[in-house]
């Protein structure tokens, strides 16, 4: 029943490729990197035991090239493939090809991926197994007449959603009767162009929901446990920005109920591996199944931090056929963990990606700090992929301490050469709604004024004051010693702020 894995091909790049390889190394498994032309100098290539080129920069020709990756797996004698997140991680065809070629896919079967990938099938499966779902249709809409009838039954406002969708594409909110048919057409055409499938269904619209997801682990012997929740409501255009656990909204009773539902959801499809059950939670703490993600998620480290389990190691052991080593009673959370996603983007310019050369990087360190990254000084972030640079994961005993520690770590984080989201994240940590834990999926929109850069006049004034203090300080030193003590190339700003004031006061 169990088959030892000795070599894992990691079909991914960036921080997640490294993350997976780290666990492999700990448990004595060799890792094989694959890389596109622009990733030749990437960190995952350096870290792996072996590395193989798989094609040009565009993902379609490299990280999404199933034939090429399978070919490398065979040449390199990999017994398993870890897909990371994104790319081929939720591709049923890829999981199937691995099966056919006798390579262990570290993830679910093609059937499970297909079931969960189709939102209406996932929804129906959950309804049939008693997991709460948002009130709405059990089937796709066939025609206009049916649309008008079901919207009446469900009651306005409603959400029209693409069956092949997820992540907010092909989704339309309707709050007026006269807009039903135009929204239906808009949703269908967006679904068609995004997924090649114009099937849509209807759900009751939940206003200002929380996005809370549960981490689950299932083995190949029918055991399923959950590793508690992650609060993921801080999002911008369906991109998560900050995640934390426990959720500020959670109570032990709600956790118990939602956890049970998450386990039921996974059992309904005979799930094995690591997975995530996403829920919407409304203001009265009603919760509804939204989607299941059949992969390791970007934000998995916060769960690792509070529960103590290495999720990649668990994935590998499950893939080998070993039974789960822990029972639900063994799982508990200790303290609080927050993750910030550090992006190479210009937050003042509509969050435009800002790829380019990293001229300097100093990463935060110290108690309760973990960074999962992959860039180094002299590395050029390619334009071809997601511009995430790293994830900063903080642990502290309490939520308040975790926020303070996150602010400290963001302050220590210095990256030059590309624009980053660090300042924006610092403002989130300072935002009263966030600090009080009073936020939902509308947080960024609701706090736009606070979160966007204070339109510089104040900052410029501060900068000028610092420059003036520095010039004054330097002049004093010059008078005393007869020469410039600090050359113009130094980082005078932070140094000067304290010392200049301090000395000025002393004089
Ligand atoms: C909803 C909803 C309100 N009511 N469904 C957005 C992404 C997709 N996976 C589901 N989404 C939503 N579905 C109903 N019936 C609100 C959202 C939604 C949202 C959900 C999770 C996290 C952020 C969000 C931001 C806007 C809308």
pLDDT in tens, 239-284: 999 999 999 999 999 999 999 999 999 999 999 999 999 999 999 9
Residue nearest to atom 12 of ligand 1 (CA): 168
How high is the pLDDT of residue 495?
40
Q: Is 405 a catalytic residue?
A: no
Cβ neighbours around 81 below 10 Å, total: 29
In contact, 395 and 368? CB cutoff 8 Å:
yes
Q: What is the mean pLDDT of the chain?
A: 93
Cβ(205) to ligand 1 under 6 A? yes
- How far, in Å, is the centroid of ligand 1 from the Cα of 64? 28
pLDDT, greater one: 150 or 470: 150
Residue nearest to atom 23 of ligand 1 (CA): 441
Confidence of residue 474 (pLDDT cuts 50, 70, 90): confident
Cβ(160) to ligand 1 under 6 A? no
Cβ neighbours around 152 below 10 Å, total: 12
Of 230, 295, 341, 370, which residue is the catalytic one? 295
- How far, in Å, is the centroid of ligand 1 from the Cα of 123? 15
Q: What's the DSSP call for residue 136?
A: B
Quote the tokens at residue 55.
């094609």
Q: In whole angstroms, give the CA distance from residue 507 to residue 500.
A: 11
Q: Is the pLDDT of residue 507 over 70?
A: no
Closest CA to 156 of 139, 173, 138: 173
Residue nearest to atom 14 of ligand 1 (CA): 205
Contacts of 180 (CB under 8 A, 6+ apart): 147, 148, 151, 174
Quote the tokens at residue 331.
């799982």
How high is the pLDDT of residue 491?
40
- How far, in Å, is the centroid of ligand 1 from the Cα of 262? 18
Task: Read off the pLDDT of residues 66-94 as tens digits, 9 standing for 90 and up.
Answer: 999 999 999 999 999 999 999 999 999 99
Q: Is the pLDDT of residue 497 over 80?
A: no
The answer to which of 62-66, 170-174, 304-308, 387-391 has the lowest mean pLDDT is: 170-174
Q: In whole angstroms, give the CA distance from residue 461 to residue 229.
A: 44
How high is the pLDDT of residue 506?
47
Residue nearest to atom 3 of ligand 1 (CA): 206
How high is the pLDDT of residue 396?
99
- How far, in Å, is the centroid of ligand 1 from the Cα of 165? 12
Task: Read off the pLDDT of residues 101-149 as tens digits, 9 standing for 90 and up.
Answer: 999 999 999 999 999 999 999 999 999 999 999 999 989 999 999 999 9
Q: Is the pLDDT of residue 100 over 50?
A: yes
Closest CA to 292 of 215, 219, 222: 215
User: Which of 174, 208, 209, 444 is the pocket-test mutation for ligand 1 (most atoms within 8 Å of CB)?
Assistant: 209
Quote the tokens at residue 3.
């088959």
């Amino acid at each position: 029943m169990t088959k030892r894995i000795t070599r894992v091909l990691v079909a991914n790049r960036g921080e997640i490729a490294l993350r997976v390889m780290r666990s492999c190394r700990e448990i004595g498994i060799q890792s094989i990197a694959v890389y596109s032309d622009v990733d030749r100098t990437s960190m995952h290539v350096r870290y792996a035991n072996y590395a193989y080129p798989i094609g040009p920069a565009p993902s379609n020709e490299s990280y999404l090239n199933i034939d090429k990756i399978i070919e490398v797996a065979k040449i390199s004698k990999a017994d398993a493939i870890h897909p990371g997140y994104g790319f081929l991680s939720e591709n049923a065809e890829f999981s199937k090809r691995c099966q056919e070629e006798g390579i262990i896919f570290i993830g679910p079967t093609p059937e499970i991926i297909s079931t969960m990938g189709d939102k209406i099938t996932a929804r129906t499966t959950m309804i049939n197994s008693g997991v709460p779902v948002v009130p709405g249709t059990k089937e796709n809409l066939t025609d206009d007449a049916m649309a008008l009838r079901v919207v009446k039954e469900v009651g306005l406002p409603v959400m029209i959603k693409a069956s092949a969708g997820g992540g907010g594409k092909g989704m339309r909110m309707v709050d007026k009767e006269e807009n039903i048919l135009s929204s239906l057409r808009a949703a269908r055409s967006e679904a068609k162009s995004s997924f090649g499938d114009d099937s849509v269904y209807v759900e009751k619209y939940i206003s200002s929901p929380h996005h809370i997801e549960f981490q689950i682990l299932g083995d190949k012997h029918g055991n399923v446990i959950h590793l508690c929740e992650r609060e993921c409501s801080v999002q911008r255009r369906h991109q998560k920005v900050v995640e934390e656990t426990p959720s500020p909204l959670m109570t032990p009773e709600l956790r118990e109920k939602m956890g049970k539902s998450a386990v039921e959801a996974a059992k309904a499809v005979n799930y094995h591996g690591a997975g995530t059950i996403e829920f919407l939670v409304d203001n009265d703490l009603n919760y509804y199944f939204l989607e299941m993600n059949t992969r390791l998620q970007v934000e998995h480290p916060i769960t690792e931090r509070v529960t103590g389990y290495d999720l990649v190691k668990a994935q590998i052991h499950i893939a080998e056929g070993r039974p789960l080593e822990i029972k639900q009673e063994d799982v508990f959370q200790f303290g609080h963990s927050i993750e910030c996603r550090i992006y190479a983007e210009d937050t003042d310019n509509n969050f435009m990606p800002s790829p380019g050369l990293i001229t300097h990087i100093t990463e935060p360190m110290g108690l309760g700090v973990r960074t999962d990254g992959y860039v180094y000084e002299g590395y050029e972030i390619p334009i071809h992929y997601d511009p995430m640079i790293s994830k900063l994961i903080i642990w502290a005993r309490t939520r308040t301490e975790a926020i303070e520690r996150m602010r400290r770590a963001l302050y220590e984080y210095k990256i030059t050469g590309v624009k980053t989201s660090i300042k924006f994240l610092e403002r989130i940590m300072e935002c009263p709604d966030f600090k009080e834990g009073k936020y939902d999926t509308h947080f960024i929109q609701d706090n736009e004024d606070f979160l966007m850069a204070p339109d510089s006049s104040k900052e410029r004034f501060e900068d000028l004051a610092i420059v003036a203090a520095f010039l004054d300080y330097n002049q004093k030193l010059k008078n005393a010693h007869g020469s410039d003590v600090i050359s113009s190339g130094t980082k005078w700003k932070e140094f000067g702020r304290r010392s200049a004031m301090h000395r000025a006061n002393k004089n």
